[in-house]
Amino acid sequence: MSASAQLTKEAKRKAKLNEKFMSVMSVDAVREDYWQSIARSTIRERCTSIFNQELLSDVNFIVRAFQGGSESKKIPAHKFVLAISSPVFFTMFYGELAVTTDFVEISDCDYESMLELFRFIYSDEANLNANNVMQLMYLAKKYMLPSLADKCSAYLRENLDASNVFHILPEAQKYDEKDLLDHCWKVIEKETDEAVKSNSFVTIERPVLEELVEKDSLNIKEVDLFKAVDCWAAKECQKQGLVAEGSEKRRILGERIVQGIRFPVMEEKDFAKVVLDCGILNKTECFDMMKYFNSVLETPVGFLEAKRAGYLKVLCRFKSFNTGWSYSYSSSNSITLTVDKNLKLHEVRLFGSENKEYSVTLTVMDVRNNVFVAIQKGQFLSKQVQNEVLGEYQGFDVVFKPPIALEARAIYTVKAQITGPPSWYGQSGLSRVEHSGVNFVFTNTSGSQTSYGKGQFSEFVFTLV
C-alpha cells in the first residue's frame, strides 16, 4: 500500500473515532468543555468571562469586606492575567521572591475597591464612583497601572466643583497628578468664595493654605478670605486640644499665611468688625492698620495693598460726577446694555447722598425674551465709596444673591425705581466701555432720566464665566 493511501486510511479512522466521541457527549458537556469559543471571540471577552471566577483560578486574595472592618472576603484570581497587566503582580508571582502560597492577604484596601481593580485588569473597565475613585487611584499607583490612574483622574476632573475641590486637591498632590492638580487650582481661583465654605476646606494641610492665600487670582472678598482662614485656624486649635484664642491661632497659621492676607484692601468697617475681634493681629499691626484707613499712615506695614487680580471686576461708566439728581414717584432711571462675553453680574452701584436713605426697586430684564432675570427691593443707606476712576463719592450697592448670568450679545434693560432725596449723579459717560476683556455697550432707554451720558448706575460689579 502506498504512503498516500496509508495517510488517507489513518485520517478516515480518526474521523470515525471523533464522530463516535462527539455522539456520546451531551450538549451541556460540549458547552462546559468549549466555554472559550461560545460568544467569546476576543481575548478580552475570554478574560472577562473568568473575572472573579474559580475556573482556572490559581490564587485567592483575602481582603477586608469593609473599610475599617475585621471581616474578610475572598477574590479568586489568575496569576498569569494579573502578571501580564502589572509589573508589581509579575514580581509577586514570577520574581525571585515569588509568592508560593495559593492566597495573598491585602490589608490596605477594601473588597469592593480591589474587585474593581481586578475588573479593570480583566476587562479594561471599572465602575468608578465618588466612594471608590480615590481608593482606586491609590491602587492604580501601587500596582503600576497608569491607564487606570488616567481613568480615575479624568473622572475626578469631570466631577470636580467648589464643594469637593479641597478634598481632591491633596490627593492630586499625593499622587503627582499634575493635570488634575492644575484643574483643582483653576476651580479654586474661579469659585474661591464657594470653595472656602466647603466642609473639606478646614481639613487641608497648612502648605495648601499658604499657597492659597498667596495666589493673586482668587475670586473672593478679602474679608471673606480672612474669615475662612480664621475658621481653619480655630479648627486646628480644636484638633490639637488648644483654646482658639488669637495668639494660638497666629502661631498655628504662621507668618506666611498672615502676611498673605491683604488687610489694606478691606473696608475699614469690615476690618474693625471682623479682624480686630479675632485677635490674630497684634496691637501694633491693628493700630497701624487703623491709622492707614484714616490716612495717618500712607503705607501699611507688612501687608500688600493691591487687590487680587481675580477679584470681582468693577466697571465704571462715568468720568466725573455732580450733585442734584432728583427723584419723583413717576420718574424712572433705566439703561440698556449688551456685553460681548458671558458674565455674572454680582451687584450694581447707585449714586446717593451723604447719610441719606433710599427706597429702591431694581430690575434686570432680558429684552428679547421679555422676561425679568432679577428683581431686588430694599432700603439702602448711602455712604462714602471709592472708585479708581471717580475717586470718592456717595453711593450704595444693590447686590444680587446669587449673581445673575448675562449672556453675550443679549440685550438687557437695568431699571431702578428710586424714592428718596436728591443724590449725586455721573457725568461724561461713554456708550462703549471695555473692562477686563469685556465690551459693555450702553444705549438710552425711552422715558428714562438716566442716559448713557449722565445719571445713575455708576458701577457694575461682575465676574467672567
Phi-psi map region of 145: left, alpha, beta (phi>0 left; psi -120 to 50 alpha): beta
Q: CATH top-level class for 313-464?
A: mainly beta
Give start and end residues of each alpha helix (H) in 25-85. Answer: 27-33, 43-49, 79-83
pLDDT classification of 92: cutoffs 50, 70, 90: very high
Domain 43-158 has CATH 3.30.70.20: no
Residues 403-444: tens digit of each pLDDT: 899 999 999 999 999 999 999 999 999 999 999 889 999 999
Residues 16-49: tens digit of each pLDDT: 545 544 443 443 444 455 556 656 678 888 888 8
**What span, in angstroms and rounded, lies between the C-alpha atoms of 148 and 142?**
11
Run of H or E residues at 435: strand 432-435
**Strands of the 459-464 sheet, one edge to the other:** 313-316, 459-464, 343-351, 391-406, 383-387
413-450 in b/e form (b: 16+ CB < 10 A) is bbbbbbebeebbbbeebeeebeeeebebbbeebeebbb
The domain limits of the chain are 43-158, 205-293, 313-464
DSSP string, 89-147: HHHHHHSTT---SSEEEEEEEEHHHHHHHHHHHHHS-----TTTHHHHHHHHHHTT-HH
What integer is the mean pLDDT of 129-142? 94
Give start and end residues of each alpha helix (H) in 273-400. Answer: 276-278, 283-293
CB neighbour class for 296 (10 Å; exposed up to 12, middle 13-18, buried from 19):
exposed
**What span, in angstroms and rounded, lies between the C-alpha atoms of 418 and 415?**
10
Instruction: Count the neighbouring beta carbons within 10 Å of the beta carbon of residue 179.
Output: 12
Residue 321 contacts by C-beta under 8 Å, 6 or more apart in sequence?
A: 351, 390, 393, 424, 425, 426, 427, 458
What confidence score (pLDDT) does residue 22 get? 46
Quick one: which of 384, 406, 405 has its CA closest to 395? 384
At residue 125, does pLDDT exceed 60? yes
Find where cell 492644575 sits. 182
Q: At what angle do helices 165-174 and 178-190 cross, to 10 degrees?
A: 150
Residues 208-253: tens digit of each pLDDT: 999 999 998 898 889 999 999 999 999 999 999 999 999 999 999 9
Task: Kindly tell me the sign of the dihedral angle through the C-alpha atoms of 155, 160, 164, 169.
Answer: positive
What confidence score (pLDDT) does residue 305 get? 84
What confidence score (pLDDT) does residue 170 get? 94
**What span, in angstroms and rounded, lies between the C-alpha atoms of 337 and 42?**
61
Residues 37-82: tens digit of each pLDDT: 656 678 888 888 889 999 889 999 999 987 766 788 999 999 999 9
For the record, the C-alpha cell of 204 comes out as 487641608
**What span, in angstroms and rounded, lies between the C-alpha atoms of 385 and 76?**
71
Is 340 in contact with 408 (CB distance < 8 Å)? yes
- Give phi and psi for 107, each to the nearest 5: -110, -5
What integer is the mean pLDDT of 7-16? 57
CA within 13 Å, CB half, 151: 20
Quick one: which of 28, 81, 38 has its CA closest to 58? 81
- Bridge partners of 19? none
For the record, the C-alpha cell of 59 comes out as 490564587
